[in-house]
Amino acid sequence: QVQLVESGGGLVQAGGSLRLSCVASGRTDNIYASAWFRQAPGKERTFVAAISSISGNSHYSDSVRDRFTISRDNNRHTVYLQMNNLRPDDTAVYYCAADDAYSSSKVYPADFRSWGQGTQVTVAS
């Protein structure tokens, strides 16, 4: 099994930046894809970004492309989400996810097996 723990959330003004971290433990050798999703109150969980542990290839949702960057440090079993130019509609709980295969078509929660507990990001206008 894989355990994921997110950190780095908080309150920020619109236009500001935050960096989220997700540390994996357990069967980390099974992680070939890592992703970030988010869920705003009363809404479904939606895809933000994902990255391959092997190639470093990544893909993003249209709403965050050019503002957010996903990266990983395999030695530290950590995935990051650098969020710049934050907007109030980025407010959500952000979840880290992991799976044993990467594909650019993976954009749904059901595509990922392991999940963290989430970290709150609040962007004030």
What's the whole-number mean pLDDT along residues 8-25? 98
Q: What is the pLDDT of residue 123?
A: 98
- Given this model, what pLDDT does residue 30 score? 87
CA 96 – CA 85 distance, rounded (Å): 21
Residue 45 confidence (pLDDT): 98
pLDDT (tens digit, 9 = 90+) per residue, 75-105? 999 999 999 999 999 999 999 999 999 999 9
Report the b/e string of 94-125 with b at 16+ CB within 10 A: bbbbbbeebeeebbebebbebbbebbebebee
Average pLDDT over residues 107-124: 98
**Per-residue pLDDT averaged across 25-42, rounded?**
95
For residue 110, the SS3 value is helix
State how beta strands 78-83 and 58-60 pair: unpaired
pLDDT per position as a tens digit, 36-82: 999 999 999 999 999 999 999 999 999 999 999 999 999 999 999 99
Tell me what pLDDT residue 98 has: 97
